[in-house]
Structure 1
Amino acid sequence: MLPFRLFSKFGSFFTLVSVLALLFACTTTKKERTYSANELLQQGKRLAKEKETEEAKAKIQLLLEDYPDSKERTAATMLLADLHYSGEEYEEAKFHYQKFIELYPAHQFVDRAHFYKAKSSFKLTDLASRDLTPVHSALEGFERFVQDFPQSSYLKQAKAKITQCLDILAQNMFEIGKFYYRTGSYQAAILRLKRLKVEYPKHSYILEAEFLLGESYYHEQNFSEATAYYKTVIKNSPRSEFAKEARLRLKAMR
C-alpha cells in the first residue's frame, strides 16, 4: 500500500504544479497585453521622437498585430513607414507606404504616402551604379503624384524631385555619349548625344553635347553636319569656351 500512497501523493503534487504553471502562464499572457491600442500608439510616437527607432517599431508592430481593427491602425501604419524611412530602410518604407495607400486610398494623408513612397525610390538611387531603375521608378511616382494630387502641399517638392530625376537621367546619357566620343566611337556618340537633345532639350549639358556632336561629325569627315553644329554652339552661347573652339574648327575647315 505504501508505494501506492507515495504515487498518489506525487501524482497530486505534479497535478498541483501543472495547474499552478498553467495559471502563471495565463497571468503572464494577460500582463503582456495590458496596453490599449492608443497607449501603444502614444508610446511608439514618444519613442520615435526620442530616436529610439527599434523600440518604437516594436510598439507599433504590436499594435498592428494585437489590434488589427482599431482606429489607431491608420496612424500606426503611416508611423511604421516613417520609422523605416528615417532609418534609411527605404525598401521597407516603400512597402508600408504602399500598404497605407491600399488600405486607405481615400484618406486625407494618402498624398503623403504616395509622395514618400516615390521619395523612397529616389533614396535608393546609387549614383555610382549604372542601374537607373530606382530613378525611373521615382520619376514615375513623382509624375503620377503631380497628376493625381495637384492641390497637395507636397506638390512643389514633387516637381523639384522630377527635375532631379531628369537631371540624373540626362547626365547619365551625356556621360555615356562623352565616353563614346573619348574612345573614338563617334557614331555611337552621335546616336547617344542626339537622343539627349531630343529627350532633354533644356538640360545644362546640351551646349557641350552640341559641340561634341560637331566634333564627332568632324572626325567622321561629315563636315556639313559638323559645320551646322558648330554654328549652333556659336549662336546659342557666343562667349563660351565651346563657341571659341567651334570658331577655330570652322576657320580650319575653310
Structure 2
Amino acid sequence: MQKIKNLAYLVLFTLLLSSCGEYQKVLNKGTSEEQYKMAVKMYESQNYSKALRLFDKITPIYRGKPQMERIKFMIAQSNFNEKNYGIAAYNFDRFTKDYLKSSKKEEAAFLSAYSYKLASPRFSIDPTDTNKALEAFQSFINTYPDSDKIDEANTHYSEIRLKLEKKYFEIAKTYYRTADYDLRNYKAAIKAFDNLLEDFLGTKYKEEAIYYSFKAGHDFVLKSYDRRKLERISDATEDYERLKKSFPESKYLEDANEMFATLQKEKTRVDALVAKQAALVANLQKK
C-alpha cells in the first residue's frame, strides 16, 4: 500500500515538474499564440499569478484583436482572485467602458464596484476607494435595475453609505474635540456637521450631528470677542431650533436648553453693551 502511495506521489511530482517546465518554456520562449493558450490554461486551472505574468507579456501583441476582450476580463478576474482589489476594480471599470456591447459588461460593472468596496480600508482612513465603491454601486443600480445582483448591490450600497456616514461624523467630532487648541476648528466642526446632514439625508447620526453642531456654536460664542458674538449666537440658535423641531423628545434637549439659556444671557449682555456704546457715540456727536 505504501509503495502505491509513493508511486502516486512520484507521478504527481513528475507531472508538476513537467508542467512548471512547460510553463517556463512558453513564458520565456513561446510564441504569442502559445503564451495566450498557456495563459488561458493557467487561468482555468486557477493559477492566477502565473496567468497574469503571461497576460502581461501578450497584452501589447493582442491589443485591438478579438481575443483582447477575453484577455481584459481574465486580467481583471485574475487580479480579483489574487486579492489585488484596487487593480481589479480599475480593470473591470475599464472593461465596461471599452466593451460596451460585451455580454460580460454587467458582471464587470458589479465586480468593479465590489472590488472598490473590498479595496476600501476601515472608515478612519482615506475614503477614496470607499467613495468610488459608492458611486460604482449607484451606477450599477441605476443601469441594471433588473439584474439578479440588484439586491446584493443595494446591500453593499447601504453598507458603504453607513461606513462613510460614520467616517464624516467622526471627522466632524474630531474638529470639535480639538477646537480648544485651535478655535478655527469650531467653524470647521459646524461646517462638517452641516455637510454630513446635507450629503446623507436621513442619516442615523442626524440628532447627534445637530446637537454637536449647536454645542460647537455655543462654545464658539463663549470664546469669541464681543463684536462677533451676536452673529454667532444667531447661527447657533438656528441649530437649537432645528434640534427642537426635528427631535422634540431628544435626549440632548435638556443640555441644549441650558446652553441656549446661556446664549440668551450673552445676547442680552452684548445687546446692552452695544446700546451703551451707541449712546456714548451719540452723546459725543452732540458735543
TM-score class, shorter: 0.5 to 0.7
State the shift of 1:199 in Å. 1.6
Map of 1:195 onto structure 2: 195
- Which residue of structure 2 aligns with residue 181 of structure 1? 176
Gaps of 5+ in 2: 1-24, 180-184, 223-231, 266-287
Q: Which residue, 103, 112, 117 being the options, matches 1:117?
A: 112
Aligned residue for 2:256? 246
User: What does 1:69-148 correspond to in 2, within 5 Å?
Assistant: 74-127=69-122, 130-148=125-143
Q: Distance in 1 between matches of 2:123 and 2:158?
A: 19
- Offset, 1:110: 0.5
String of CA shifts for 1:89-112, please: whole Å, max 9, x gaps: 123313432453345321222011
| Amino acid in structure 2 at the alignment position of 1:41 | V
CA–CA distance in structure 1, aligned partners of residues 112 and 137 of structure 2:
9
What residue number does 2:206 align with?
206
Identity of aligned residues (%): 22
Q: 1:132 to 1:67 in 2, by over 3 A?
A: closer
- What's 2:3 paired with? none
Shift of 1:79: 3.1
Deviations 1:145-183 (A, max 9, x none): 222222222222333333333333333332222122222
Cα gap change, 1:177/1:96 in structure 2, threshold over 3 Å: closer, same or farther? closer
Counterpart position of 1:24: none
C-alpha separation in 1, matches of 2:103 and 2:148: 12
Deviation at 1:207, TM superposition (A): 0.9
* TM-score (norm. length: structure 1): 0.66
Provide closer, same or farther for how the CA distance between residues 122 and 111 of structure 1 changes in structure 2, counting only shifts above 3 A. Answer: same
Give the drift of 1:209: 0.8
Question: Shift of residue 230 of structure 1?
Answer: 4.2
Q: Which runs of 5+ in 1 are unaligned?
A: 1-27
CA distance in 1, matches of 2:143, 2:79: 25
CA contact (8 A) 2:237 2:260 kept: yes
Deviation at 1:132, TM superposition (A): 2.6
**Counterpart for residue 19 of structure 2:** none
Shift of 1:208: 0.7
Amino acid at match of 1:82: Q
User: Mean Cα displacement is larger for which, 36-45 or 76-85?
Assistant: 36-45
Amino acid in the other structure paired with 2:112 = K
Q: Which secondary structure state, in structure 1, belongs to the residue aligned with residue 252 of structure 2? A: helix
Instruction: State the secondary structure of the residue aligned to 2:103.
Output: coil
